[in-house]
Amino acid sequence: MSIRYPNGKPYKGSLSTPKQRESTHRYGNRGKTLEDDLNATNHYYREHGIAIVHKKPTPIQVVSVDYPKRSAAVIKEAYFRQPSTTDYNGVYKGLYLDFEAKETTGKTAFPLANIHEHQIGHMKQVLHQSGVCFFILRFTATDEVYYMPGYVVITYWERMVAGGRKSMKKEEVERDGYKIPLGLSPRVDYIKIVDELHSPS
């Protein structure tokens, strides 16, 4: 299937199903991606009345469909209607949450090329409206997960744009972020960090 961005450029990412992604992204003998873990975490939050957070759907415009059988349709070509903003949004104790999840196989740095300009612009707008923006980053080699406040990542992004490093060093992530211990239920309990940073004093 051919998927294209609004500017006509082909999309080179994966449109596989969650089960397919699970089988092809294996590390730590768990076979779980960060997205899988966050989806399970958000399900736990909703089921226990803690927070309402969902993964945003990707808007796609279908332009070509084949019908090999009367009962089946195969999408042959489609376009993203608009660039995506961030992966997740929702509400927790009256706070609007908006965040992006990213993984890297690197051990010493997190490439800022994984983050897109329109995502930075979106986060700036949300922060301007007093929303809570952040990134959840996973270093897959060590299976470490960090909560990085949006304004911190924006600072590193702007450093890159000004001609600086094209990545955040692991030490910078450790210093400016908040490590999230991995558990069972919930798997990635990022709400604890939101509480720590945004609870009324």
pLDDT tens digits for range 135-163? 999 999 999 999 999 999 999 999 999 99
Question: Is pLDDT at 184 greater than 80 in this prediction?
Answer: yes
Residue 20 pLDDT > 50, yes or no?
no
| pLDDT value for 87 | 86
Average pLDDT over residues 173-195: 96
Query: Is the predicted pLDDT of residue 30 greater than 50, yes or no?
Result: no
Which sequence spans correspond to the domains of the chain? 17-58+83-198
Fold of 17-58+83-198: Trna Endonuclease; Chain: A, domain 1 (3.40.1350)
pLDDT digits (tens, 9 = 90+) for 96-114: 999 999 999 999 999 998 8
pLDDT attached to residue 144:
96
pTM of the shown model: 0.74
Question: Residue 104: is it exposed, middle or buried by C-beta count within 10 angstroms (0-12/13-18/19+)?
Answer: middle
Count other Cβ atoms within 10 Å, centred on residue 100: 24
Confidence of residue 4 (pLDDT cuts 50, 70, 90): low
- What is the share, in percent, of the chain residues with pLDDT greater than 70? 73
